[in-house]
Chains A and B, each alone.
Chain A
Amino acid sequence: MITPTVASLEPVLAAGAIALVIIGALAALLLGNAIKRLAGLLIAGFGAIAALAALGASDGALIVGVAVLFAQTAIGIALVVRLQEAYGAVDTSDIDAADADSDVQDRAS
């Protein structure tokens, strides 16, 4: 039986982290709901931080990652609240449709 060591686990951890980045990035780019997009960003960000940890990056790099992710989340939540106030929706298809209507009205006037 093969005994797992830290060195043998490293590629597995890194691969798992990269998978998280890919899943999160796809969710952030493809999903229509702004809150789900934000969740996708968090998954991608945590995946990247996990990759840093798995590949032995310095503490400073990890702190940078966490701090930026926190700032993104705070701004993202504020944006979602403002979108709900301004459009009455957080679904990007509804928001795009409302903007397209405004564009048509602008052109007509």
Chain B
Amino acid sequence: MSAAYIDLARAHAPLLLIVMPLIGAALMLVSGPARLSWFVAGLVASAGAFVAVDFALGALTGAQPVAAVGVMLHVDGIGAFAAALLAVVAALTIWGAGATLKDSGGAAAPLALALMLCVTAGWIGALLAGDLGSIIAAVETAWLAGVGLVAVNASRDRAALNGALRMLSLGGVGFALMLLGAALFARAAGTSSMESLALARIEAPGLASAGAALMILGLAVKAGVAPLHAWGVAALGRSTSMVTFGVGALGMLGALAVMSRVAGYVMAAPEIGEGIQAALAALGGVSVVVGSVQAVGARNLLRLTAYAGVSQAGCVLLSLALGSPAGFAAALVQLVAFAAAALALYGGASAGRVQTLAMLDGYAQRAPLASTAITAGALSLMGAPLTIGFLGRWRLVEAGVGAGWWWAAGLVIIASLAGVFYGGRLIERMYFRRANTAYAGEGGVWRVALGPVLVAAIATIAWGLAPGGLLRAATSASLMLGGLSP
């Protein structure tokens, strides 16, 4: 009997992945105290992560049939892989946010958690949506929830309202570009359904190229890719852990994953593939250089992490620009690397409420575990050997050199050298300087809630040492760009 229910749930897993966080968000509004809300949100997010990983494992090995459900969903390799990654990151961030729940203000914490679950549902929805219109609707759900999450932080610091306004302005322009791009692309391809797009015959390549470029540009705004990243620093610079996790880690990761998915479909058309490759390569190159330079000059840890994320996003775009399965696999590995590093860095910083670099001085003596997490994240951003960051960049260099793109390998080296500088500065401050402020983090049993941050830190090293399973999953996902159906 129960086996039948499990099979039914497995067949409808894509729908469950979207609905579960939304039900969790509704529960936040009636669950009362902040700690209870956090516990319920953590349970819902963990259940979602379990379903997502089970579904992805089944889907990527070809063992999981997908039910034809009554809403517009279409599962492909990148969608299944990235949805699982997002669901796991969401669960880790929500459990990790428990250690600094007070920062959001007692009354606002359930609302912030509800918005975080909406961000998760929105990005997962965009990864599994069945047509371009549904993708845009889901992206905007996630984005507007992110704007709300930043604005909720205003009870602690009014600068959050400025960040939210910038997010709304730039994101709104991104929405208009995506909508216009989808209209142009659908007109040229004769369809907006993801299932048909992979096989569509492009009748007007110029129109299709313009549409695809606009859609990717709109998503690039949401991913915080340079030079469209002005919202990121304003929203994250003085934010709480809930905002850095929800927008800086989950939001950017979701946008990059959706961008990878959309790029996979539009680049399948040989008529427009080359133009999109050039646009992605240009955006990626600019993002690597601008993000690296700004991270080197940053004096605020949260801003430094945001800029380092911009540089990492550039590496993801360079991988996508290759347009080959090897390039898409490299992009997926880098998404995992970005997620693990962002969790480790943001989590390690929020544990002791560190914002400026000066507050990191002697941090290793005051918070050894949080410092370990930051060190692992920094090493991964540098692309140090035996970390997942190295693995992601190595895969990009391999795929780039294979395609004759030596300049892409050069940009990766620039990103890594810059990473050595700003990542090394973090490590030097934590371990080789004397503390100048007292530890401002949570004490007692709530330190346990930092466990997920350590899990992310361990993952950056563990996947660097034993990457076999991850590489196989990324390769399988990149070979199923058009959908899971045979």
Contact = CB atoms under 8 A, between A and B. Distances in A.
A61 B183 contact: yes
Contacts of A18: 180
Contacts of A78: 151
A41 B164 contact: no
B140 interface: yes
Nearest to A71: B144
Contacts of A65: 179
A82 B164 CA distance: 11
A28 B173 CA distance: 7
Contact of A72 (B159, B162, B168, B186): B168
Contact of A44 (B132, B133, B165, B176): B176
Nearest to B178: A48
Given A82-B154, A96-B162, A25 B183 contact: no
B147 interface: yes
Contacts of B161: 79, 82-83, 86-87, 95
B180 to A, nearest CB: 5
A76 B136 CA distance: 19
A55 B151 CA distance: 36
A56 B137 contact: no
A25 B172 CA distance: 8
B14 interface: no
Interface string A45-67: 10111011001111011001101
A91 B481 CA distance: 46
Contacts of B154: 82, 86
B148 interface: yes
A75 interface: yes
A15 B183 CA distance: 13
Interface string B178-201: 011011101100001000000000
Given A64-B137, A72-B144, A48 B180 contact: yes
Chain A interface extent, by class: 35 or more
B176 A37 contact: no
Given A75-B147, A75-B168, A24 B176 contact: yes
A49 B162 contact: no
* Majority secondary structure, A binding face: helix
Given A25-B173, A29-B170, A75-B147, A68 B180 contact: no
Contact of A52 (B158, B183, B356): B183
B168 A41 contact: yes
B177 interface: yes
Contacts of B147: 75, 79
B204 to A, nearest CB: 11
Q: Which of B144, B164, B179 has the most CB of A within 10 A?
A: B179
B133 A25 contact: no
B175 interface: yes
Interface string B9-22: 00000000000000
* Majority secondary structure, B binding face: helix
Given A75-B147, A86-B154, A68 B140 contact: yes
Contact of B169 (A41, A60, A87): A41
A86 B132 CA distance: 39
A31 B168 CA distance: 14
A106 B173 CA distance: 33
Contacts of A92: 162, 165
A76 B148 CA distance: 10
A61 B434 CA distance: 58
B162 A57 contact: no
Given A64-B137, A67-B137, A107-B356, A79 B151 contact: yes
A44 B184 CA distance: 16
B183 A79 contact: no
A24 B179 CA distance: 14
A53 B168 CA distance: 24
Contacts of B184: 51, 55
A21 B177 contact: yes
A18 B183 CA distance: 11
Nearest to A56: B187
Contacts of A99: 159, 162
B179 A52 contact: yes
Contacts of B151: 75, 78-79, 82
B176 A47 contact: yes
Interface in A79-109: 79, 82-83, 86-87, 92, 95-96, 99, 102, 106-107
A6 B265 CA distance: 31
B177 A25 contact: yes
Given A61-B133, A75-B147, A29 B182 contact: no
Given A68-B175, A71-B144, A79-B168, A55 B162 contact: no
A56 B182 CA distance: 12
Contacts of A47: 176, 180
Contact of A60 (B133, B165, B175): B133
A68 B122 CA distance: 13
Contact of B144 (A34, A75, A82): A75
11 contacts: A21-B177, A25-B177, A52-B183, A76-B168, A79-B164, A82-B161, A83-B162, A86-B158, A95-B161, A95-B162, A102-B159
Interface of B: 132-134, 136-137, 140, 144, 147-148, 151, 154, 158-159, 161-162, 164-165, 168-170, 172-173, 175-177, 179-180, 182-184, 186-187, 192, 356
